[in-house]
Structure 1
Amino acid sequence: MSIEEIPQGANVQILSKDEKKARDLIKKLNLKQIKGITRVTFKQKGNLIYAIDQPDVFRSAAGTYVVFGEAKVDDMNKRIAEAQAQAAQQEALTKAAAGSATDDKSPESITADLQAASLEDKKIEEEDVDEVVDESGLDAADIDIIIDQTQVSRTKAVKALRKHDGDMVNAIMELS
């Protein structure tokens, strides 16, 4: 059968003489063929990747693999650039869908947003200041360290220490 006689779209493998010999030797070595693998990649320094699409993969009992297929060079830098461009395009679509409220970049709008955010923070801080928390059983130095590390109110620091049974590390992690 010649190449011209093969119907278009048929899944036919044309193997070289050496590849046929190698496959016959693999059968004699009792290697098991692994089905379902669609791509095998090998990475070298400098983001250079060799990829084999639709490979024939065989595995030995010792865990070594033999892979047959055509290796093609795949440049990771190109793929990264494509992914970044796609992410930027997705972000632009998200911003466009958000509406005109986020599009307003006038100084007055920015100032109003900052003032609203600071007022919310002050309300939360005022709530914490008004509340008196029992510090008995806790070391004052531990509370001061948590306040210094996380820049929160004393009330929040005490609550976090109580929640974590005096464990400063977990209290700081929660507040950070």
Structure 2
Amino acid sequence: MSAEEPKIENVEEEEVPTLEDVPVEQLKGESAAAAAARHRQSKAEKKNKKAILKAGLKEYPGVKQVSIRSAQRLNLTIDDPEVFISDNGNGTAVFVVFGKFNMEDATQQRGQQAVADLLKPKDEVPVEATESDETPEELPENIAEKDVQMVIEQTGLSRNAAIKKIKEHGGDIIEAITSAQK
């Protein structure tokens, strides 16, 4: 063989390994455990936990979420916390919680709930027909048509029942509405 002739080698292709089917539930469980194992504690966190254990607090396992509501209507939630408990003997317990918290404003949540309630269609309340509802009742001169319509909208009563309620309360539509809603 001369130095200029290239050397030819036979190369066999390697087989690609086949992938195994693993259930999704198993993957989720492994990823959560792996994430918990990967959590690196800061020096301050290690130092604080060591001091807490030295003070006699014991780990309280099995807590999945801690919710704290403050007087300023703020909700603090801590998912997957590390909880330590100290029973000081007089029936009260002291809890120390480590974890990342999420802050939620309760007033904002209530506002969003109120908007959602307003957007929902009102459920019509069926009113049983009475004998006086069968014959149409004429509108007296001292009662306006818009007052009758308002009582009907607010209470779900029939026209005749609304006129009757307004007559019972001497034309006071507020009293007619409140008595019909009782």
TM-score, normalising length: structure 1: 0.45
Q: Where is the helix percentage greater, Structure 1 or Structure 2?
A: 1
Greater C-alpha Rg:
2
TM-score, normalising length: structure 2: 0.43
